[in-house]
Structure 1
């Protein structure tokens, strides 16, 4: 043992402590005009621009929906009202346009409503039905014909029919209720007949090996089914029904035209004629248009339109296929029509 080891301060030399790690120096602030400053500013500007644009579009769509709602409500309120308000003596106009059927502009519901309003207006000197229709439902046409004759007797006002392009079948069924019928020389008038159309798919089903399964309670419940063979019994029954409706149509024409009608073997055959020949055969009275009748016949040159107008909801429904769907169903099932 070395005696020097016991002396104070004579122990072994301590090892030096490790140096503290140097802290990283902060990143230098980009000097003014550094490229990063421009990027940040541009980002901020673009962000604010997008937010403003988003607010503007949100506001635009809110006003757009509000406007559509306003138009929709306005259409509901003004539906089926006359386009003009009567102010004095005038000619009352009612348009008969397109197919005569339920849920169309020429439905009995629409036309009868307009007829009642026109007849009850003291300023209406007479009523003019301006017709441009190929026909349609015998039921709808019959309702309108009956109502015209009832209102004429009740209010002692005359009704005139004015043909534009076409006044055929069911449209002519309505026209014969008028006191006089005016037409253009080239208009199409007549087609006094009844039809029932449809399709039969039996042959096509046999060709493709498709089996039809139809269950009915009632011997004749499946009559006119387009996917089943047609029996002679059902064919005869359907033809008898069409013949009966045809007789009803003929009676209405004879009652309406009276002695003016010059009947020939073709009169009730379903043929149609131009306006000039229609006058010769007594199917119409004279050549003339709406303005002529109002000015020269009724002597009330001001014309007020009483035709009901479809509202926005009805137009949208048709535009999205309601009418197309109904037409497809009618084509498959078969529908009796005067056209």
Structure 2
């Protein structure tokens, strides 16, 4: 085949499409005026890419956070309470902690403590029960529930004794619980007693008068608002409220006398609301001896190993409480409510 075309020209040279572009055409093509424009374009593209990467990272982070939150909620509802019980333990002394204020919304509430008591009484390996108390008291209702349940369980399981051991303080509602035990022990420096009832609040009527604020309260019932801190006290209502406190105090005294019996010394000060050291309480018959939970388990029960039966909130609930989610409502309750407490 000939390498020459019909016109006699060599076809090996560059075609029309392959030939260099004329200089005039190159000069007419639009182009950035300087390298600065290219740098700006490059910076914009890189910025867009960076934003996209950040957006993806945050998207992954929030998805993971949502998953953890949902998992924690599921865990909280499926396991609202945990027990320190070791199922593999042999013969032992059951330990139940009563720590902090006794109230429905606190760890030391009747549901937690009663549940732990039932577990301990029903466990055949638990030879006796020690209530380790460190509480200033609290709700007479919650303390009464626990006291009643101890009495009931002692009748159902007469071979299993209950010992109350007071550490730093066992006062008021905490002592109300302790008197249901067969025996009470404390340290010589523990604080014991405070057999009385208290209810307190605040009155803001003077402040309101000074700042020119009028109280507008509408009720149905003559005495419906008798504990309202923004209204003046009425002597008749104060007298009525003192009767409520006296009635509750008398219930407390009866429980102490029933639980302690003739071990109590005949003293007018016992039920005055005073508080004593463990050494003084021993002389007054409020406790039976001086010693710790370990001492009672080892020397009195004869089973040195202590197994914790206490019911505690789930870790998630503890975390939420520590973060102070309920601080606002707690402050509001303290300011506007008058709580009846054993102290």
- Any residues of structure 2 matched to 1:271-282 within 5 Å, and which? 271-282=274-285
Q: What's the offset of the Cα at 1:216?
A: 2.5
Structure 1 residue aligned with 2:28: 25
Change (3 A) 1:29 1:334: closer
Deviations 1:271-300 (A, max 9, x none): 101112111211111111121122222222
Structure 1 residue aligned with 2:16: none
Structure 2 residue aligned with 1:108: 110
Change (3 A) 1:64 1:301: farther
- Of 308, 312, 316, which residue of structure 2 is paired with 1:309? 312
Q: What's the offset of the Cα at 1:244?
A: 1.1
Question: Equivalents in 2 of 1:125, 1:182: separation in Å?
Answer: 18
Q: What's the offset of the Cα at 1:267?
A: 0.9
The answer as to 2:164 corresponding to 1:161 is yes
Change (3 A) 1:37 1:198: closer
Q: Which moved more, 1:279-288 or 1:83-92?
A: 83-92
**Secondary structure at the residue paired with 1:266?**
helix
The answer as to 2:67 corresponding to 1:66 is yes
Question: Equivalents in 1 of 2:111, 2:71: separation in Å?
Answer: 27
- Any residues of structure 2 matched to 1:116-195 within 5 Å, and which? 116-156=118-158, 157-195=160-198
Structure 2 runs not aligned, ≥5 long: 1-23
Structure 2 residue aligned with 1:262: 265
Contact kept in structure 1, 2:32 and 2:38, CA below 8 Å: no
After TM superposition, the score normalised by the length of structure 2 is: 0.82
Q: What's the offset of the Cα at 1:132?
A: 1.0
Structure 1 residue aligned with 2:83: 82
Q: What's the offset of the Cα at 1:242?
A: 0.8
The answer as to 2:339 corresponding to 1:335 is yes
Note the aligned Cα RMSD (angstroms): 2.8
Contact kept in structure 2, 1:80 and 1:307, CA below 8 Å: no
- Any residues of structure 2 matched to 1:284-299 within 5 Å, and which? 284-299=287-302
**Secondary structure at the residue paired with 1:81?**
strand
Question: Equivalents in 1 of 2:140, 2:55: separation in Å?
Answer: 57
Question: Equivalents in 1 of 2:175, 2:192: separation in Å?
Answer: 7
Q: What's the offset of the Cα at 1:81?
A: 2.9
Q: What's the offset of the Cα at 1:183?
A: 1.0
**Secondary structure at the residue paired with 1:309?**
strand
Change (3 A) 1:43 1:222: closer
Structure 2 residue aligned with 1:5: none
Change (3 A) 1:323 1:60: closer
Change (3 A) 1:161 1:255: same
The answer as to 2:234 corresponding to 1:252 is no
Question: Equivalents in 2 of 1:216, 1:318: separation in Å?
Answer: 38
Q: Which moved more, 1:67-76 or 1:243-252?
A: 67-76
Q: What's the offset of the Cα at 1:235?
A: 1.2
Q: What's the offset of the Cα at 1:40?
A: 7.0
Q: Which moved more, 1:139-148 or 1:323-332?
A: 323-332
Question: Equivalents in 1 of 2:36, 2:185: separation in Å?
Answer: 86
Question: Equivalents in 1 of 2:238, 2:86: separation in Å?
Answer: 52
Question: Equivalents in 1 of 2:172, 2:269: separation in Å?
Answer: 14
After TM superposition, the score normalised by the length of structure 1 is: 0.83
